[in-house]
Amino acid sequence: MKRRGGKSRIDRLIASILVGIGSVCGFASAAEMPPAPGVYACYETRAAMNVTGCVRSSLGCMGFVFTPAPVMMFGLIDATTYSDYDGKRGHYTYDAQSGILTMTDGSREGWKYKHTADWSFRALDAKGEDTSFNCPLDDKKDPLKRPW
């Protein structure tokens, strides 16, 4: 596996599994840990037929399409400040109990994301429901150094 910023994909998978086990056993969940600073590079995931890398079945060849979503991306600069894809800054709050990060001002005012792992968020819609946008931490990018 190719290593990215000191963590391989296997490392992250194992970390996700351990977080899940820890939450069942009463240990701290990803939501209870403050989000790591850095750039959360969002993408949309959707199922599609006959795409590269699809899995063949009696129903056809099913796979996934991953589409980068720069508008959804955000960078956490510190414990209260974020930057959007265009370099504009604003503030955010993070509720450790619910794992919800809320942009409180700036260009993304009112936008919410749910902490799904110590290295990932999922964008929420206006009703607080999950969207198809996943936002993993890209630890090779600096939220202060544009462009991402």
Residue 93: inside a domain: yes
Residue 1: inside a domain: no
Bond prior to 147 in cis (omega within 30° of 0): yes
How far apart CA 99 and CA 144 sit, in angstroms, is 24
Of residues 19 and 135, the one with the higher pLDDT is 135
Class of residue 16 by CB neighbours under 10 A (exposed 0-12, middle 13-18, buried 19+): middle
Residue 147: inside a domain: no
Total residue count of the chain as it appears in this document? 148
Structure tokens at 28: 């701290």
What's the mean pLDDT when you consider all of the chain? Answer: 84
Output the pLDDT for position 67.
Answer: 93
Q: pLDDT per residue over 2-18, tens digit each?
A: 444 445 555 554 555 54
Per the structure, how many domains does the chain have? 1
Output the pLDDT for position 12.
Answer: 52
pTM of the entire predicted model: 0.72
Mean pLDDT for the stretch of residues 52-63: 89
Contact 129, 121 (CB under 8 A): no
Residue 16: inside a domain: no
Mean pLDDT for the stretch of residues 98-115: 97
Q: Which domain holds residue 62?
A: 32-138
- Exposure string over 47-85, b if 16+ CB within 10 A, otherwise e: eeeeeeeeeeeeeeeeeeeeeebeebbbbbbeeeebbbb
With cut-offs at 50, 70 and 90, classify the pLDDT of residue 119: very high
Residue 94 CB contacts under 8 Å (≥ 6 apart), including other chains: 34, 35, 79, 100, 101, 102, 115
Q: pLDDT per residue over 75-87, tens digit each?
A: 999 999 999 999 9
Residue 11: inside a domain: no
pLDDT of residue 102 exceeding 90 = yes
Residue 10: inside a domain: no
How far apart CA 22 and CA 13 sit, in angstroms, is 14
How far apart CA 111 and CA 142 sit, in angstroms, is 21
Closest residue by Cα to residue 120 from 45, 27, 21: 45
Residue 74: inside a domain: yes
